Structure 1
């Protein structure tokens, strides 16, 4: 039998397993978490996966919804509680993981957009963003890069767009024009493999300077 683990570590391990199995990055999941009401960045997702975040019921519900949105398929909260050993719930209570799952084991709940008010607004914003690209005369050329970049936009793009005073869609367009790739992809290319956060931050500042200049030149 597996050793006894705190519930935060059990949930974190399952979160990492599910996320990587579906090919979702921590940055992409953080976006879905923010939609679900969790003010998380990619580092907060990593902290959760390392068992450093408290597992309240509200957090588990929001996280389950975020995973459903990221994966495009129903996920049960019990999937986050899967464990063969005992799960430590508090200082005086540890329960077999498979028994704990039964508290939440049921048909996964499929939450549709009309069930969540914020999702209606988010879909409208995303639709408007795609339309802003397709309405351009050069969208066929730029769209091959800009539309995938918009799909993959994460926290890096959100921060850069906010600082530059433009939409995420406009950032995707300008990035495609300048570098033929997304902001995050260009940052990672210049920073190099296995670069640290400080190096990526330095490169991001350089990229934003280049974007400001490009936007300024385009407005002249």
Structure 2
């Protein structure tokens, strides 16, 4: 039996806690950091948000993304369904909406109900294919594939040939070495690692003639 749909605040709160813990920050440290970025949350308010006990406004979400230097989609990461208004939506569809990838011109002539049904059908099919082909972490691989205009399969298979794992997994593995640094230094080092790995991967894609020389 599939688990019941979660609320947006529960999904966002769980991911907020994940992001904070990945950065090695306590709730007190995070509250101080958020205040510097314009989000005046106490430790108690942060704790309630992480537990899904308080609503998170769009203004809060924007400032959280800025404070943690992370895409909005990271706060809605995961699988399953979420209750949005009177409907239950796949998290993958919500992530596509945030990335602006849900728009399909051929659906413009459909009514709202039919359009939602078709979008849900398409995202479910894509999710099944992606899960079968790439059960591992592929967030960075997906972003690079979209940037370069190449199939995700080209990026992940090439990454495996270099590191025996995906770009995302290699980046995260190398970033562990910086876990004791202050947050800004960790973010800077993570960025350096990502850029270096991306350049290496792009060079290999070109060597294999999977990427045109004109694409960067």
Q: State the structure with more CA Rg.
A: 1
TM-score (structure 1 length as normaliser): 0.42
